[in-house]
């Protein structure tokens, strides 16, 4: 049970960090925000790797479930980061030669 308290502390503090960081995200980037949070939540792949690489003592089923989860999480990681990058690449500032905007 003792391990729970340090973990809970990290969790609660991270919630606060998340709260303040996300409020500072500009509304124009809310779609990339969802795409990137989606990619990073696939950090669950860590658990999938543990299951898939468990050499001994475990059941075969557990290993294959782990491998399945590795595939799913990889789709998300690569897809999520790539699509975020693609979207962010489209946000451009006005070119300087833009005519007579000051009107």
4 binds other proteins (CB under 8 A): yes
Q: Which residues contact 3 (CB under 8 A, 6 or more apart)?
A: none
Query: How many whole angstroms separate alpha carbon 11 and alpha carbon 25?
Result: 21
Query: How many whole angstroms separate alpha carbon 25 and alpha carbon 59?
Result: 44
Residues 7-46 that bind other proteins (CB under 8 A): 7, 10-12, 14-15, 17-19, 21-46
59 binds other proteins (CB under 8 A): yes
96 binds other proteins (CB under 8 A): no
94 binds other proteins (CB under 8 A): yes
């Amino acid at each position: 049970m003792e391990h729970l308290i340090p973990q809970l502390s990290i969790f609660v503090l991270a919630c606060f960090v998340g709260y303040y960081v996300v409020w500072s995200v500009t509304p124009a980037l809310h779609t990339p925000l969802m795409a990137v949070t989606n990619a990073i939540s696939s950090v669950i792949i860590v658990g999938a790797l543990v299951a898939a690489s468990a050499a001994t003592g475990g059941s075969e089923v557990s290993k294959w479930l782990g491998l399945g989860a590795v595939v799913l999480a990889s789709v998300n990681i690569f897809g999520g980061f790539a699509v975020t990058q693609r979207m962010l690449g489209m946000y451009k500032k006005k070119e300087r030669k833009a005519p007579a905007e000051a009107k």
